[in-house]
Amino acid sequence: MFLQTKTKKDMSKIEQLSEIMDSISASRDIRELLQASLNKTLKALSSERGSIFMAGEDGEELSLKCANDNNDLKMDQIRRKLGEGVVGKVAKEKRSLLVKDIRQDRTLTISNMHHDYRTTSFLCVPILAGMKLIGVISITENNTGKPYSEEDLKFLEIVAGSIGLKIEKSKLLCEVEKIKKKAETDGKFTELGKFSSGISHELNNPLDGVVRYVNLALNTIEEGPARGYLMEAKSGLIRIVNIVRSLLELSRRNKNSNLKMADVNETMEHSIELAMNCATHKTVDIKKDLHKDLPMIPDMGLESIFSNILKNAVDALGATGSIEVKTARNNGFIEISIRDTGCGMPQEHINRIFEPFFTTKEMSKGVGLGLAICDDIVKRYNGRIQVSSQMDKGTAFVIQLPLKDNA
């Protein structure tokens, strides 16, 4: 693979790949993203002609969205059905295609497709999010006159994967923003619940697939700029997964039939483990004081409460810090406290932290649903949640859940 060979030419390819990923990340709309990606990829692969087709909503047909040699404003009218032509074949099979010489390739039954091209070699790669088809990118007319190589194919596959990830992320954030505006208007979670139920099937499987392929790519790429960009992509994926999980919590509101019983301490231990998985590049000292004789209670979302608060605690810490977790039985209540030595919050933020969509983080790092979900779950228990904080000294959450005989 070109990423594993440290020649001057290969390092140039890595730099070009990094530039393309920068362009993909910075693009503000899909058309700009596609055109910029195509132009820079053509330059990196010393090619003159290329195109990107995008799949329709039904996934049965693709339409041309950009092509460097086509100035026709009616490009959307150029379409391919699944299985039709090279683009349709790649879309249907969801497999990349490298043809070194179409005149000698017996795997293709498409005749005369290259009669107006100077060269007979081309690349065609599906744009996927997991196994969901987003589109197809094709590259041809290599200026060197040589056939494309396996290294060229790998290069194009990385570009296609980045395009697919960016498009899926953009769609999700766009939908979240629409729902946010509506929720701010009517003050209700109803639309969020409908939305989150709808996206669970559409996004969870593709996200799992994309994470898996990013991890596979990381296992084959040595240290260098491209690996750094893949690590950033993985970090972004994890944030998307967390957003989806937060939205899905809203769709489960008031579905309390057939509740399982939960062990508070076991749930806390698991939540701590999850939080520590996110504490990369930080040294976090966890101090635990867990009461040994707590009764089991109905599980209305305990892990969501603990995980959201612990994640915020980790985010609030600098390079080092501590989090103190305590459970106790106190006057008819199970009391859980989570304290951190982080940056703290001003009073005006404390007054708003349980509001849906209130956040001081960037949109890419959170949508402000975590603590709103915590507050909602605690109310299902008829419990209480209190917060205190001092700037530069830390924050403490205290949750009180009534025992059955005190409810």
Highest mean pLDDT among 117-126, 204-213, 395-404: 395-404
| Amino acid 318: pLDDT | 85
pLDDT band at 403 (very low <50, low <70, confident <90, very high): confident
**What is the pLDDT at residue 15?**
82
CATH class of the structural domain 261-406? alpha beta
Residue 274 reports pLDDT greater than 60: yes
**Longest CA–CA separation in the chain, Å:** 85
Rounded to an integer, what distance in angstroms lies between the CA atom of residue 299 and that of residue 67?
54
Is pLDDT of 88 > 70?
yes
Instruction: Tell which residue, 153, 149, 311, 320, has the closest CA to residue 241.
Output: 311
With CA atoms as reference, report the closest residue to 354 among 378, 336, 371, 377. Answer: 371
pLDDT of residue 252: 56
* Helix, strand, coil in percent for the chain, rounding step 5: 50, 20, 30
Is pLDDT larger for residue 121 or for residue 278? 121
Q: Is the pLDDT of residue 111 over 50?
A: no
Burial of 158 (0-12, 13-18, 19+ CB in 10 A): buried
Residues 222-243: pLDDT tens digits? 787 777 777 877 777 776 666 6
DSSP code of 254? T
| Pairwise CA distance, residues 289 & 118, whole Å | 74
Q: What residue ranges do the domains of the chain occupy?
A: 1-253, 261-406
pLDDT for the residue 7 = 55
Its pTM stands at 0.48
16-20, 297-301, 324-328, 337-341: segment of lowest average pLDDT: 16-20
Highest mean pLDDT among 105-119, 204-218, 247-261: 204-218
Query: In 3D, which of 137, 140, 138 has the Cα closest to residue 101?
Result: 140
The residue type at 265: N
Q: How confident is the model at residue 141, as a pLDDT?
A: 92
- Report the mean per-residue pLDDT for the chain: 81
Overall average pLDDT of the 102-114 stretch: 59
How far are the Cα atoms of 176, 199, 357, 370 from residue 247, in angstroms, in the given order?
A: 9, 9, 11, 9
Give the Cα separation of 276 and 272 in Å (integer).
6
Q: Is the pLDDT of residue 115 over 60?
A: no
> Is residue 3's pLDDT more than 70?
no
Of the two residues 397 and 273, the one the predictor is more confident about is 397
| pLDDT attached to residue 13 | 76
Q: pLDDT tens-digit profile of 28-76?
A: 788 889 999 999 999 999 999 999 999 988 778 999 999 986 555 566 6
Residue bearing tokens 């744009």: 127
The Cα angle at residue 26 between residues 24 and 200, in degrees rounded to 5: 70
Top mean-pLDDT range of 80-89, 217-226, 363-372:
80-89
pLDDT grade, residue 257 (50/70/90)?
A: very low
Query: Is residue 402 within 8 Å of 382, Cβ to Cβ?
Result: yes
Strands (E), 33-173: 47-55, 61-67, 79-81, 97-99, 122-129, 132-142
CA atoms of 301 and 253, how far apart (whole Å) = 10
16-25, 154-163, 202-211: which has the minimum mean pLDDT?
202-211
Question: Is 1-253 a CATH 3.30.450.40 domain?
Answer: yes
DSSP label at 232? H
Which of 215, 155, 197, 199 lies closest to 3 in space, CA to CA? 155
The CA distance from 17 to 214, in Å, is 15
Q: What is the DSSP letter of 61?
A: E
Given a cut of 70, whether residue 109 has pLDDT beyond it is no
Cβ–Cβ contacts within 10 Å for residue 298, how many? 15
d(CA 72, CA 240): 36
341 touches 322 (CB < 8 A)? yes
Per residue in 122-171, pLDDT (tens digit) is 999 999 987 889 999 999 999 988 999 999 999 999 999 889 888 888 87
The average pLDDT across 282-300 equals: 92
User: Does residue 97 register a pLDDT over 90?
Assistant: yes
pLDDT of residue 5: 44
Residues 6+ apart with CB under 8 A from 308: 246, 370, 371, 373, 374
pLDDT of the residue at 174: 75
Confidence of residue 323 (pLDDT cuts 50, 70, 90): very high
CA dist., res. 376 & res. 300, Å (int): 10
Task: Give phi and psi for 328, each to the nearest 5.
Answer: -155, 165
pLDDT of residue 340: 96
Cβ neighbours of 288 (radius 10 Å) = 13
102 band by pLDDT with thresholds 50, 70 and 90: confident
Q: Please tell me the distance from the alpha carbon of residue 120 to that of residue 103, in angstroms, as a whole number.
A: 7
